[in-house]
Amino acid sequence: MKPAAMRLEDIEVRHADKTILRVPHLSVEKGEVLTLIGPNGAGKSTLLQVLGLLQTPSRGNVYFGGERVTGSSDLVALRRRLALIFQEPLLFRGTVLENVTLGLRLRKVPQNEIRERAELWLAKLNIAHLAKRSVAKLSVGEAQRVNLARSMVLNPEVFLLDEPFASLDPPAHDSMVEELQNILGETKTTVIFATHNRTEAQSFGDRLAVMIDGQIVQIAPPGRVFSHPANRDVANFLGLGTIAGGRVLNSTNGTSNVAIAGHQITVDGKYRPGEELLLYISPEDITVLLPESSSNLTAETNVIGGTVSTVTPIETQFKIIVDCGFAVTVVLSKRSFLDLSLAKGKKVLLALEPGAVHIIPNRHGQKS
């Protein structure tokens, strides 16, 4: 079995008396794109720096390509197989070309090879026309492209990015993400990418790791994380879904009926009647129907009715909050929104798809 590109075992990073990062185990496969998401101070940057061999952990080991590298005496050689960029472009005085070729010059790559590789990457990132320009004269977006080129030209085995597009305005931001995805698709580099933008988190990686308070609380493909957040903190951070408390009425055949605000919702799993449960309703797994078309529903579907109370456009979708006796957040496509002519005050039916409802375990991970 091929060794993982990077592996962390029993890692702890302590500053003064506080533990700011604790990762018992993390394994990133070759060619995998891992996205890290979490609030400020969650430890994403620290984790990236430990992976990038820029910070030595207080405890634990880092394995690069199967080899243990913690406390190695030749960190410089190991670091030269990696690349890490930050939110700030951090370009050095001089021209764009001088910056892009810096890493290659540090590695004493022969002159003609430097020129070839630099030209290639300047072209890939659409900044060839800026080669001779002084970095003092670049816009933030251009500077960040130079930053990317500077690292990608090194053909790193693992590429670490610490919220690289956070300071770009939305259009620039979106196009950069797309470009990066295309480039990474071509090169098949192992990538670890930190962000706190939820859209990026949803679409960008193979796996999404949610970090809170220095720990990885959940790591799974993005879809799964968003539809089944591991706990309340994750759910709150991801922000969109509905969290509501209900009481179990009865339980038959592996499902249970839960009462919430006058409605009855069927959930998977056997629970004791009278138990209090915390439910998470994923905002994307709800179909919005107009009352007139309720005939299309089957018996298994959970359907609850309510009134639209707020409408918020977000990027290419719409978020609406429907008052069903408790607030339910629904995210639907622009198209659906318009087809249904939704607006504040409209009465609607919400059909909860089978995967939409999820029981949130309490603090100790138990499902009540």
Q: Give the footprint of another protein on this chain (CB under 8 A).
A: 49, 52, 54, 76, 79-80, 82-86, 88, 90, 92-94, 102-103, 106-107, 134-136, 150-151, 154
- Closest among 227, 250, 270 to 357, alpha carbons compared: 227
- Minimum distance, C-beta of residue 94 to another protein, in the bound complex (Å): 8
Residue type, 360: I
Residue type, 190: T
Q: What is the DSSP string of 324-361?
A: SSSEEEEEEEHHHHHHTT--TT-EEEEEEPGGGEEEPP
- Minimum distance, C-beta of residue 106 to another protein, in the bound complex (Å): 5
- Minimum distance, C-beta of residue 174 to another protein, in the bound complex (Å): 25
Q: What tokens were used for 189?
A: 């580099």
Nearer to another protein, 43 or 241 (CB): 43
Question: DSSP 3-state assignment of 163?
Answer: coil
Nearer to another protein, 24 or 94 (CB): 94
- Minimum distance, C-beta of residue 41 to another protein, in the bound complex (Å): 16
CA-to-CA distance for 157 and 178, rounded, in angstroms?
21
Nearer to another protein, 80 or 115 (CB): 80
Nearer to another protein, 122 or 248 (CB): 122
CA-to-CA distance for 231 and 217, rounded, in angstroms?
8
Long-range contacts of 123-132 (CB under 8 A, 24+ apart): 124/149, 124/152, 124/183, 125/149, 125/152, 125/179, 125/183, 127/96, 130/96, 131/95, 131/96, 131/97, 132/95, 132/96, 132/97
Nearer to another protein, 94 or 313 (CB): 94
- Minimum distance, C-beta of residue 58 to another protein, in the bound complex (Å): 17
- Minimum distance, C-beta of residue 76 to another protein, in the bound complex (Å): 5
Phi-psi region of 155 (alpha: psi -120 to 50; beta: other; left: phi over 0): left
- Minimum distance, C-beta of residue 119 to another protein, in the bound complex (Å): 19
Greatest Cα pair distance in the chain: 75
Q: What tokens were used for 233?
A: 């903190």
CA-to-CA distance for 26 and 11, rounded, in angstroms?
9
- Minimum distance, C-beta of residue 85 to another protein, in the bound complex (Å): 8
Nearer to another protein, 15 or 129 (CB): 15
Nearer to another protein, 147 or 242 (CB): 147
Nearer to another protein, 155 or 199 (CB): 155
